[in-house]
């Protein structure tokens, strides 16, 4: 996704200001989300050793500028090439005026001795490969055990102050499975960003203004009239779902007959609805106007508030049951009452980024990268959705947030440029806004896809899905694929208790550790962590080393997944870690000497410590995804 950076829009005099018909000088540059150096002491050790070697090279070998560069160190993909590798010799070869392999040899010769490094080799044109000792990984196992739930987390003061807005579904019906993907993704991303050191505020924007709320209101009212014996057919363009019945019942229980009007009064002289050959849009607008006239603005707004309260309560409860909570539920209507929209329009007009045409107020959005200008105030004085959008994002900036992340549906492509343009025009950096677009969800029950039409009410709700497959499967499956791909949700796989089900496979690894500890207790033994930590040198088998190496990747995965906004990266890692754990566990079934509960106390305690550390990393990762870590299955 691209982003922009606002160049200076402060001019020395009015004469220097560009003509409103000319593009405003806004430069858009790609936004880089490269992760910070992860909290990895093993990688940091190698970086330190290379830095010391570069500093020790003779003065005529390397320039002072090259000596001060941070060496690039990466994990190898193939363990036969070591644990970590650096291309430092190839990067600095030109500055050293020698071929990369010769420089690599000089760097290796100058490397200080360190017990973490078993050996160093030069490969290919000049890669330097580092093979770490078992003791290096033993130290990291101790770190996992010491830090516990904090392993892989950065201090909260090390990152940005982020406002993350997600879900924000219109409060006109229950959440469906598509909203579930937004909820699971947004909640996991918030947890990732927090773990990566950012301060994160989770926000739900309630779209409680505009025509869709009027349609909801008149739909509830017709259900209410039907309950009290004044049958008025639900408009064909209204919300037809059964979910409105409890709200209509609540309206009657709270206000009794207060909003009763006869069916004849309601329907007198209304245009025909679509089933009778009329236009459904014209009919519902006429019905809304009739409701306003019959109830008065105060009565109409009371029904609005009651309908919205019922829908928001349902949405809030649904998300809370899923484990997704927000720091604030932000009302769109409050933008008008607080003066936020007035402030946004004042800024635009003051900077000469608006003009009047046909009685409406327009924003020069095309001067900021949009494909056309946008109306912010109609000729009747009503502010548009776009005016609310830019006012809301200005308010986010005024509340002190460095980065604004919106999680939206895939159909919001055009939204990005126009809101960034609005921010730029109001004097805020456009690249402070970052929009992640989520693709659709295909829910499969056999080969049939279920319709998602909210007005018709024939969709599978998120609550129904959760009740069928469980919260854990919902949270996991919704983030199992990258957000920019359509997600096919396999109900049968999600419910299965087999190793083919990835969430079951990962949770089973966690539960297996608890099972081992129960077996230990059944034999009258107990885990002695102090002995285990001091005996980690007993962990020398390839399965054990593979598991240790996998565990030490966790902080890097958290950093990468947060930086790339990709919870599925963590999902893939946990699946690999579970696989390495199951491999180490199963090795004992094939070779009794590799079992965890063996006679030798030091070996037994070392393996118990290894498994306990693996359980901790699995638990930490599952917690970020919002998935439970059971001790039995």
Inter-axis angle of helices 554-563 and 601-625, nearest 10: 10
DSSP notation for 497-564? -STTSHHHHHHHHHHHHHHHHHHHHHTT----HHHHHHTGGG--SHHHHHHHHHHHTHHHHHHHHHHT
pLDDT band at 11 (very low <50, low <70, confident <90, very high): very low
Q: At what angle do helices 280-321 and 211-227 cross, to 10 degrees?
A: 90
Quick one: average pLDDT of 442-447? 79
What is the rounded CA–CA span in Å between residue 355 and residue 376? 10
What average pLDDT does the chain have? Answer: 90
Question: Mean per-residue pLDDT for 593-607?
Answer: 96
Mean pLDDT of all residues in 133-139: 95
The span from the CA of 500 to the CA of 497, in Å, is 8
Residue 64 has pLDDT above 60, yes or no: yes
Span 284-291, mean pLDDT? 98
How far apart CA 478 and CA 142 sit, in angstroms, is: 33
pLDDT, residue 276, reads 95
Q: What is the mean pLDDT of residues 463-473?
A: 96
pLDDT (0 to 100) of residue 453: 52
What pLDDT band is residue 119 in, cutting at 50, 70 and 90?
very high
Q: Which domains are delineated in the chain?
A: 41-137 (3.30.1360.70), 213-308 (no CATH)
Residue 166 pLDDT greater than 50, yes or no: yes
Residue-wise pLDDT for 538-590, tens only, equals: 999 999 999 999 999 999 999 999 999 999 999 999 999 999 999 999 998 88
At 502 the pLDDT is 96
- Strands (E) across 290-419 are located at 328-331, 354-357, 360-363, 374-377, 403-409
- The rounded distance, in Å, linking the Cα atoms of 170 and 172 is 5
pLDDT of residue 564: 97
Cα–Cα distance for residue pair 428/421, rounded to 1 Å: 9
Other CB atoms within 10 A of residue 130 CB:
28
* Contacts of the segment 267-271: beta carbons below 8 A, 24+ positions apart: 267/232
In sequence order, what are the residues at sequence separation of 6 or more whose Cβ sits closer than 8 angstroms to the Cβ of residue 187?
Answer: 166, 202, 323, 324, 475, 626
- Reading the block at residue 102, the tokens are 């010769």
Q: What's the N-to-C CA distance of the chain in angstroms?
A: 41
Rg, the chain, Cα only = 31
pLDDT of 61 over the 90 cut: no
- Which has more confidence, 39 or 278? 278
DSSP at 372: S
Under DSSP, is residue 614 helix (H, G, I), strand (E, B) or coil?
helix
User: Looking at the DSSP assignment, which residues form a beta bridge with residue 6?
Assistant: 26
Q: Give the span between the Cα atoms of 405 and 393, in whole angstroms.
A: 10
Percentage, residues of the chain above pLDDT 70? 91
3-state secondary structure of 228: coil
Structure tokens, 424: 């730029």
Q: pLDDT at position 30, please?
A: 35
16: pLDDT strictly greater than 60? no
Q: Which of 236-245, 314-323, 620-629 has the lowest mean pLDDT?
A: 236-245
Mean pLDDT along residues 191-205? 97
Give the model confidence (pLDDT) of 344-360 as tens digits: 999 999 999 999 999 99
| pLDDT number for residue 446 | 67
Select from 607, 609, 546, 620 the least CA-distant residue to 152.
620
Neighbour tally for 391: CB within 10 Å: 26
Angle among Cα 272, 274, 277 to the nearest 5 degrees reads 65
What's the pLDDT at 34?
40
* Vertex 211: Cα angle to 208 and 217 (nearest 5): 70
Tokens representing 64 are 């002072």
What is the predicted pLDDT for the residue at 451?
A: 62
Each residue's pLDDT tens digit, 506-545:
999 999 999 999 999 999 999 999 999 999 999 999 999 9
Structure tokens at 128: 């330097």
Lowest mean pLDDT among 32-46, 386-400, 478-492, 512-526: 32-46
Assess whether pLDDT exceeds 80 at residue 43: yes
For 530-548, the three-class secondary structure string (H helix, E strand, C coil) is HHHHHCHHHCCCHHHHHHH
| Six-digit token string for 398 | 């005024």
Write the CA distances from 622 to 28, 315, 473, 511, integer angstroms: 37, 24, 12, 13
- The confidence band for 458, taking pLDDT boundaries of 50, 70 and 90, is low
Distance of CA 612 to the CA centre of its chain: 29
Residue 17 φ then ψ, to 5°: -70, 135
Total residues belonging to the chain:
633
Q: Worst-scoring range by mean pLDDT, 61-75, 241-255, 413-427, 577-591? A: 61-75
78-90: pLDDT as tens digits: 989 999 999 999 9
For residue 228, pLDDT over 70 is answered with: yes
Query: Would you say residue 256 has pLDDT above 90?
Result: yes
pLDDT tens digits, 357-382: 999 999 999 999 899 999 999 999 99
| Average pLDDT score over residue span 73-99 | 90
H/E stretch holding 305? helix 280-321
Which residues, including other chains, have CB under 8 Å from residue 14's CB and lie 6 or more apart? none
User: Is the pLDDT assigned to residue 455 strictly greater than 60?
Assistant: no
């Amino acid at each position: 996704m691209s982003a922009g950076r606002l160049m200076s829009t402060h001019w020395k005099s009015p004469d220097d200001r560009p003509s409103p018909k000319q593009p405003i000088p806004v430069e858009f540059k790609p936004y880089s989300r490269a992760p910070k150096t992860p909290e990895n002491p093993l990688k940091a050790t190698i970086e330190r050793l290379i830095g010391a070697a570069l500093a020790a090279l003779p003065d005529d070998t390397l320039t002072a500028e090259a000596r001060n560069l941070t060496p690039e160190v990466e994990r190898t993909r193939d363990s036969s090439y070591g644990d970590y590798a650096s291309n430092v010799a190839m990067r600095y070869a030109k500055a050293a005026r020698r071929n990369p392999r010769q420089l690599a040899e000089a760097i290796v010769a100058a490397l200080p001795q360190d017990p973490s490094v078993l050996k160093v080799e030069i490969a290919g044109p000049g890669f330097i490969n580092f093979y770490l000792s078992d003791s290096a990984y033993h130290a990291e196992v101790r770190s996992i055990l010491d830090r516990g739930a904090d392993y892989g987390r950065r201090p909260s003061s090390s990152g940005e102050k982020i406002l993350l807005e997600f879900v924000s579904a219109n409060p006109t019906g229950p959440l469906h499975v598509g909203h579930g993907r937004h909820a699971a993704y947004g909640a996991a991303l918030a947890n990732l960003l927090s773990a990566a050191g950012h301060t994160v505020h989770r926000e739900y924007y309630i779209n409680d203004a505009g025509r869709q709320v009027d349609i909801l209101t008149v739909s509830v009212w017709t259900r209410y009239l039907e309950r009290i014996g004044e049958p008025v057919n639900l408009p064909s363009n209204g919300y037809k779902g059964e979910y409105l019945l409890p709200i209509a019942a609540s309206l009657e229980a709270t206000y009794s007959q207060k909003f009763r009007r006869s069916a004849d009064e309601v329907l007198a002289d209304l245009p025909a609805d679509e089933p009778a050959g009329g236009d459904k849009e014209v009919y519902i607008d006429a019905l809304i106007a009739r409701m306003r006239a019959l109830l008065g603005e105060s009565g109409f707004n009371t029904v609005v508030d009651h309908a919205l309260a019922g829908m928001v309560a349902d949405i809030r409860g649904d998300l809370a049951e899923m484990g997704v909570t927000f720091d604030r539920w932000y009302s769109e209507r409050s933008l008008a009452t607080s003066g936020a929209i007035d402030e946004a329009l004042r800024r635009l007009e003051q900077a000469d980024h608006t003009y009047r045409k046909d009685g409406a107020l327009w924003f020069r959005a095309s001067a900021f990268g949009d494909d056309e200008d946008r109306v912010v105030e109609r000729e009747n004085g009503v502010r548009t959705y776009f005016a609310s959008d830019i006012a809301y994002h200005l308010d986010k900036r005024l509340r002190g947030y460095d980065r604004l992340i919106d999680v939206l549906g895939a159909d919001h492509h055009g939204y990005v440029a126009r809101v960034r343009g609005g921010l730029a025009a109001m004097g805020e950096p456009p690249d402070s806004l970052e929009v992640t677009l989520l693709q659709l969800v295909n829910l499969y029950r056999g080969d049939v896809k279920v319709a998602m039409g909210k007005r018709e009410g024939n969709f599978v709700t998120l609550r129904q899905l959760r009740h069928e497959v469980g919260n854990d499967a919902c949270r996991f499956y919704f983030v199992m694929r990258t957000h920019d791909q359509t997600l096919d949700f396999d109900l049968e796989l999600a419910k299965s208790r087999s190793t083919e089900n990835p969430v079951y496979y990962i949770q089973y690894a966690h539960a297996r550790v608890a099972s081992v500890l129960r077996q230990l207790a059944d034999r009258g033994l107990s885990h002695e962590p102090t002995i285990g930590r001091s005996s980690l040198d007993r962990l020398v088998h390839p399965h054990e080393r593979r598991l240790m190496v996998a565990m030490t990747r966790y902080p890097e995965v958290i950093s990468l997944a947060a930086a790339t906004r990709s919870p599925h990266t963590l999902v893939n890692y946990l699946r690999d870690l579970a696989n390495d754990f199951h491999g180490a566990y199963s090795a004992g079934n094939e070779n009794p000497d590799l079992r965890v509960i063996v006679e030798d106390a030091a070996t037994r305690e070392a393996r118990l410590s290894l498994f306990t550390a693996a359980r901790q990393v699995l638990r930490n990762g599952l917690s970020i995804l919002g998935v439970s870590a059971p001790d039995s299955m």
